[in-house]
Amino acid sequence: MSALIRGIGTLLSLEGAWKKSGRFVQTEDLGLISKAALLMDQGRLLWVGPEKKLKSALANLPRQYQKVTREWDVQGKTVLPGWIDGHTHLVYGGQRWDEFELRCQGVSYQEIARQGGGILSTVKATRAATKQSLKEISQKRVDEFLRQGVTTLEIKSGYALDLKGEIKQLEVARSLEGPQIITTFLGAHAKPPEFETHESYLQFLSEKVLPQIQKKKLADRVDIFIEKNFFEGEMAKNYLRRAQDLGFSLVVHADQLSLSGGTQIAVELGALSADHVIQLGPVEIQRLAQSETVAMLLPLADLYMKCEYPPARELIDHGACVALATDYNPGSCPSMDLSLVGLLARLYMKMSLPEVIAAWTVGAAKALALRDRGSLLAGFRADLQVVDLDWRGLFYQTGTSPVTQAFVGGKSMPL
């Protein structure tokens, strides 16, 4: 038994981009197949190719797959891998629109944080929120991502900064439905007021929190905000090493506001991704580009923060694997608009459209260490989107989603 999608105007398999590990992506790496079809079963792709070869492909499949039991004719639409958003802070309580108004009047993000606003105001609201209310509001946000074709969605904790609340955030994240959810423990997001120093808070996280997160299997990944006067240098490194010893993969919020060593630490410790990476010098660009650490770029946060955009062109030209993500959160990026992220990457970071498409698929899959998605190849997860738009029209118009259908693990999802 198998399920068939036919009538595909153009299918983008991303085969070449996948084989190149997301580096030096060109148009031909998009794996364009016109008049295509695909077969899937049990959430996996069985075959992808030109529709005229469907009959022979079916005949060549093992007997149990030869009977097509479900069929969709997408009538000339485009099919491509589902987007993967590898960096969000989606589970949070409260809002920060008042502080945004202040920022628009010229008060800086750092000044608001010093006055007890910023991340700490979201911490207060998230601690106070019930699990049920967090779940309801978070599910609505996840639905919004799915509507845009997101089939894998990363969610970080980091808005409770205590044992009970961080567990609550991760449990809520794990309970959300639609795209496949990947959770990351970001206890080291900011220092909560109960602790005198950043060092003593990291010690608490290492001794009391990380082992619990591991025991309860609430996340496989640990993230940290490395920044001058926040978590930095040896204390950050020691914390990440401790997480690594416990079996967690690493991620770093690196060099966002200032060049603070985050990228160097990420590369040295073999982190999956270094995120933001705005304030890089030539040495950091070279090291990151030549490593297996993905450069996770978040230009929509840069727009909201009115800061520079990351040196995407230099990173890509030096051979980096790049991912794009929203960084959706109530402070630095209260927007879930993937198309705007891609538009900014094209307009201000000189990324080509094939590079943007690969960054949202192959690059993001690599950043999440997911080897079975980001590309539509036989054996991969059937995570895909149907869009009513020529692929060349992607990340061109914003504000509306061209996605008409999304499949997550082979299942057609209500949008």
Of residues 194-233, those binding ligand NIG (CB under 6 A): 225
Question: How far apart are alpha carbons 195 and 161 in whole angstroms?
Answer: 10
- Tokens linked to 73: 């004719």
Beta-carbon contacts of 383 under 8 Å, excluding residues fewer than 6 positions away, are: 81, 82, 151, 152, 180, 373, 407, 408, 409
Among 301, 315, 338, 387, binds ligand NIG (CB under 6 A): 301
- 367 or 386: CB nearest ligand NIG: 367
Under rule CB under 6 A, residue 187 binds ligand NIG? no
Considering the complex, state which of residue 232 and residue 327 has its C-beta at the smaller distance from Fe ion.
327
User: x-or-dash pattern for ligand NIG, window 62-91, by CB under 6 A?
Assistant: ---------------------------x--
DSSP-derived 3-state class of residue 215? helix
Return the residue matching tokens 């082979």: 410
Binding track over 1-40 against ligand NIG, x by CB under 6 A: ----------------------------------------
HEC sequence for 219-283? CCEEEEEECCCCECHHHHHHHHHHHHHCCCEEEEEECCCCCCCHHHHHHHCCCCEEEECCCCCHH
Residue 284 lies near Fe ion (rule: CB under 5 A):
no
* 403-408 and 384-387 strand pairing: antiparallel
Interaction partner, residue 222 (ligand NIG, Fe ion, none; CB < 5-8 Å by kind): none
CA within 13 Å, CB half, 378: 8
Q: Work out which of 29, 223, 302, 327 binds ligand NIG, going by CB under 6 A.
A: 327
CB-nearer residue toward ligand NIG: 331 or 354: 331
Give the count of beta carbons closer than 10 Å to the beta carbon of residue 369: 13
Q: State which residue, 87 or 242, has the beta carbon closest to ligand NIG.
A: 87
H/E stretch holding 99 reads helix 97-104
With CB under 5 A as the contact rule, the residue among 232, 327, 337, 383 that binds Fe ion is: 327
Are the C-beta atoms of residues 161 and 190 closer than 8 Å to each other?
yes
The residue among 18 and 225 lying less far from ligand NIG, judged by its C-beta, is 225
Please select the residue that binds ligand NIG; options are 168, 253, 366, 381, rule is CB under 6 A: 253
Task: Rule CB under 6 A: say whether 248 interacts with ligand NIG.
Answer: no
Backbone angles phi, psi at 384, to 5 degrees: -150, 165
- Binding part of the chain for ligand NIG, among 49-57, 117-125, 163-171, 395-403 by CB under 6 A, reads 117-125
* 225 interacts with, out of Fe ion, ligand NIG, none, CB within 5 to 8 A per kind: ligand NIG
Instruction: Name which of 45 and 161 has its Cβ closer to ligand NIG.
Output: 161
Token reading at 144:
């919004």
Nearer to Fe ion, 255 or 327 (CB): 327
Residues that bind ligand NIG (CB under 6 A): 89, 118-119, 122, 225, 253, 301, 327, 329-332
